[in-house]
């Protein structure tokens, strides 16, 4: 695996990769990799001949009071994991390489960014769209692979690619979970032992609500129960618990089509997000 930090070297390495033919998949990450990221690389390998992974902790997607400064950085072990997983190129630019003139040209995320994290983290999805557009331009992949854990992000990227006609196939990969159900996330590293135990309430309450909604419990009632269980486990504040259309993210009050139940809440200083598919019974 080549580790590349400059745009000229990246261009050269990509043209060598493409000389022998074959397709290229991009797996964009912010590093601090876990099994969830490795599942993205595995999916990328299934679908393309060459895998390029990127590690870039993108300042433009962090709010002023968020965790940019303390976001975990461990490139050496990330590189080992990516190499073992069969990555051909690790693209690891620094901030000046990604934003040589600062972020003077930005991308405004589309309607999929409305509500949910779009409200809770103003500007976040514009930052994501801006950096992903740059990564797509730098790597020119045939496909790009994203985790469903950041479900709204996946739809924001899909919408950007469709709107701008970028011709990149955007693939979503189901969330990887620990044995107790907690979604793998680089931010889980912030949790104390007690918080880590309490965190199970997030996937558990969402799973129970998903089952209840499928069985006919009114959506509002099921969501209220999730809020109660999260509060009882110590989550505070709860940013949102909502049922949304699985492909447009429109709010839903009855389960009449495939949906997604999404939540975001804080345990101490750590903000956790999760979501589950909710499909109407046959
Ligand atoms: O999901 C992430 O890790 C980031 O939001 C991404 C897509 C790499 C953009 O910085």
Residues 168 and 190 in one domain: no
Answer yes or no: is 179 within a domain.
no
Please check whether residue 215 lies inside any domain of the structure: yes
Mean pLDDT of the region 39-49:
98
232 Cα–ligand 1 center, Å: 31
Nearest CA to 159 among 191, 188, 211, 118? 118
Same domain, 36 and 91: yes
Express as a percent the part of the chain with pLDDT over 90: 99
Which residue's alpha carbon is at the smallest distance from atom 1 of ligand 1? 29
| Domain's final residue, options 147, 173, 199 | 173
64 assigned to some structural domain: yes
| 202 and 107 in a common domain | no
Does one domain contain both 14 and 148?
Answer: yes
- Which two structure tokens, joined as six digits, stand for 100? 């040589």
Among 173, 203, 225, give the residue marking a domain's end.
173
94 within a domain of the structure (yes/no): yes
Q: Could you tell me the distance, in angstroms and rounded to a whole number, from the CA of residue 27 to the centre of ligand 1?
A: 9
Q: Which domain holds residue 268?
A: 186-274
Contact 265/205 with Cβ under 8 angstroms?
A: no
In this prediction, residue 20 has a pLDDT band, given cuts at 50, 70 and 90, of confident
In a domain, 135, yes or no: yes
The secondary structure of the chain, three-state, reads CEEECCHHHHHHHHHHHHHCCCCEEEEEECCCCCHHHHHHHHHHHHHCCEEEEEECCCHHHCCCCCCCCCCCCCHHHHHHHHHHCCCCEEECCCHHHHCECECCCCCCCCHHHCCCHHHHCCCHHHHHHHHHHHHHHHHCCCEEEEEHHHHHHHHHHHHHHHHHCCCCEEEEECCCECCCCCECCHHHHHCCHHHHHHCCHHHHHHHHHHHHHHCCCCHHHHHHHHHHHHHHHCCCCEEEEEEEECCCCCECCCCCCCEEEEEEEEECCEEEEEEEEECCCC
At 204, is the pLDDT very low, low, confident or very high (cuts 50, 70, 90)?
very high
Residues 73 and 46 in one domain: yes
Atom of ligand 1 nearest to the CA of 57: 10
Q: Give the ligand 1 atom nearest the CA of 186.
A: 3
Given pLDDT bands bounded at 50, 70 and 90, which one contains residue 103?
confident
- Domain count for the chain: 2
Looking at residue 282, its pLDDT comes to 80
CA of 30 to the centre of ligand 1 (A): 6
Is residue 197 one of the residues assigned to a domain?
A: yes
**pTM assigned to the model:** 0.97
Q: Are residues 72 and 126 in the same domain?
A: yes
205 shares a domain with 165: no
CATH code of the domain in which 236 resides = 3.30.1300.10
Please confirm whether the linkage preceding 189 is cis (ω < 30° from 0).
Answer: no
The domain that holds 20 is classified in CATH as 3.40.50.620
What would the two tokens of residue 109 be? 């995320």
> What would the pLDDT profile of 110-141 be if each residue is shown by its tens digit?
999 999 999 999 999 999 999 999 999 999 99
Both 30 and 63 in one domain: the answer is yes
Is the distance from the beta carbon of residue 198 to the nearest atom of ligand 1 less than 6 Å? no
CA–centroid distance, residue 242 to ligand 1 (Å): 22
Residues 193 and 131 in one domain: no
Q: Do residues 59 and 128 share a domain?
A: yes
Q: Is 50 a catalytic residue?
A: no
Structure tokens that stand for 159 in this block:
């919408």
Q: What angle do CA 223, 228, 229 make, to 5 degrees?
A: 100
The ligand 1 atom nearest the CA atom of 30: 3
Looking at ligand 1, which residue's alpha carbon is closest to its atom 5?
128
Instruction: Determine whether the shortest distance from the Cβ of 156 to ligand 1 is under 6 A.
Output: no
In a domain, 181, yes or no: no
In a domain, 70, yes or no: yes
Q: Which two tokens stand for residue 249?
A: 């993210």
Same domain, 163 and 190: no
Final residue in a domain of this structure, among 142, 173, 204: 173
Whether 33 and 163 share a structural domain = yes
């Amino acid at each position: 695996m080549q580790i590349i930090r400059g745009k000229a070297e990246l261009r050269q390495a990509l043209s060598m990769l493409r000389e022998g033919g074959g397709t290229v998949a991009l797996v964009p990450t912010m590093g601090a990799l876990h099994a969830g990221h490795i599942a993205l690389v595995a999916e990328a390998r299934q679908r393309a001949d060459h895998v390029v992974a990127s590690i870039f902790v993108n300042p433009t997607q962090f709010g002023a009071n968020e965790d940019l400064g303390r976001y975990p950085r461990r490139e050496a072990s990330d590189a080992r994991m990516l190499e073992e997983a069969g990555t051909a190129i690790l693209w690891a630019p620094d901030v000046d390489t990604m934003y040589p003139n600062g972020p003077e040209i930005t991308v405004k995320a589309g309607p999929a960014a409305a509500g949910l994290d779009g409200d809770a983290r103003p500007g976040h999805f514009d930052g994501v769209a801006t950096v992903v557009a740059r990564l797509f331009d730098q790597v020119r992949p045939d496909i790009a692979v994203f985790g469903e854990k950041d479900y709204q992000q996946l739809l924001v990227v899909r919408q950007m690619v469709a709107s701008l006609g970028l011709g990149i196939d955007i693939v979503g990969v189901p969330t990887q979970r620990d044995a107790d159900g907690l979604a793998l996330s680089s931010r889980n590293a912030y949790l104390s032992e007690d918080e880590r135990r309490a965190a199970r309430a997030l996937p558990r309450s969402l799973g129970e609500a998903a089952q209840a909604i499928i069985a006919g419990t009114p959506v509002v009632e099921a969501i209220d129960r999730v809020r109660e269980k999260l509060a009882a486990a110590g989550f505070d504040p709860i940013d949102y618990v909502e049922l949304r259309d699985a492909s447009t993210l429109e709010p839903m009050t009855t389960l009449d089509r495939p949906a997604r139940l999404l939540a975001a809440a804080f345990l101490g200083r750590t903000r956790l997000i999760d979501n589950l598919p909710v499909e109407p019974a046959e």
